[in-house]
Amino acid sequence: MPETTRPLPTDDPTQVAAFEARIAAGESIEPKDWMPERYRRQLTRMMSQHAHSEIVGMLPEGNWITRAPSLRRKLSLIAKVQDEAGHGLYIYCGTETLGVDRFDLYNQLLDGTAKYSSIFNYPTLAWADMGVIGWLVDGAAIVNQTILAKTSYGPYARAMVRICKEENFHKRQGYEICMTLAKGTPAQREMLQDAVNRFWWPSLMMFGPSDTHSPNTAELLKWRVKRKTNDELRQRFINLTVPQAQELGITLPDPDLRYNAETKNWDFGTIDWSEFQEVIAGNGPCNRERLEARRAAHDEGRWVRDAAAAHAAKRSQATAAA
């Protein structure tokens, strides 16, 4: 039975009250501190999904390394994919401070019981997608992760500090690709516009369901794991991104998008949440392809794990003999 589905033990009310007083006072919770079991499981769920997203997120861009249009673009894309692998490892390490095994979490990804960000189940059809993913997808991630850098759980917050710095590089890299294409030939501009059309709405879905349909938001806000709701983060992303699209001369594919002088926000159209639910349920364009790729990589790397285990056992025997 997966860790997050086992029955919850009953927490001591006195300890819960003391814990929540620490949260209210803005204190950071560390691995050796007492925490409610529900808090630990919510963090495990959230952090493991984040780690899985970083690992699966390597696939749409890794597919374009050999087809990048120049050596400079190849190098920068390799660096970005490498960063994403590191982000996944940072966060897997963070989950282990909660008393779980990263291999158990990774096996949940491989057997399809764990979730990861819906955005990575969409195909990358053209080079412009690399720019748009950097601009929109990493831009959305930054909006979410800069808030997580202030989360109540210390190891997660500290991991986010470094990750956010690298994600900012990724966004700048993506926007620079978009700007180059926007200033290019009509065919390049058309390729960029097509990529924006395909990734705009999935990027908005990245923040999760609307607040009225989010089962975890209230609890995560209470414990300051999250500091803002899904809808608040989505609105901030839109407010930041619309001026950037205007600078590029790109049209965002939402006829209802308009500035609201009263709220000082950009109002936007209705998100197709049925599409989001389909992707989350495993029926997106690339769900099966992404998991098959991760399973193949896991199987092909078995010899490395076996060699490492044999080496560790040999060293252990040598130490015992000495």
Between the CA of residue 144 and those of 171, 207, 236, what are the distances in Å? 14, 8, 10
Q: What is the DSSP string of 152-178?
A: SBHHHHHHHHHHHHHHHHHHHHHHHHH
Q: What is the DSSP string of 52-74?
A: HHHHHTHHHHHTTTTT-SSHHHH
Work out the pLDDT band at 216, boundaries 50, 70, 90. confident
Q: Per residue in 25-40, is it b (16+ CB within 10 Å) or e — as a string? A: eeebbeeeeebbeebb
Task: Return the pLDDT at 8.
Answer: 60
Percent of the chain with pLDDT over 70: 97
pLDDT tens for each residue of 139-189: 999 999 999 999 999 999 999 999 999 999 999 999 999 999 999 999 999
Helices (H), ranges, 97-153: 102-110, 128-132, 138-148
Task: Return the pLDDT at 7.
Answer: 59
Task: Return the pLDDT at 229.
Answer: 95
Percent of the chain with pLDDT over 90: 90
pLDDT tens for each residue of 117-132: 999 999 999 999 999 9
Burial of 302 (0-12, 13-18, 19+ CB in 10 A): exposed
Tell me which residue of 82, 83, 65 sits closest to 74, measured CA to CA: 65
pLDDT tens for each residue of 267-292: 999 999 999 999 999 999 999 999 99
Q: What is the DSSP string of 254-316?
A: -TT-EEETTTTEEE-----HHHHHHIIIIISTTHHHHHHHHHHHHHHTHHHHHHHHHHHHHHH
Are the CB atoms for 248 and 85 separated by under 8 Å?
A: no
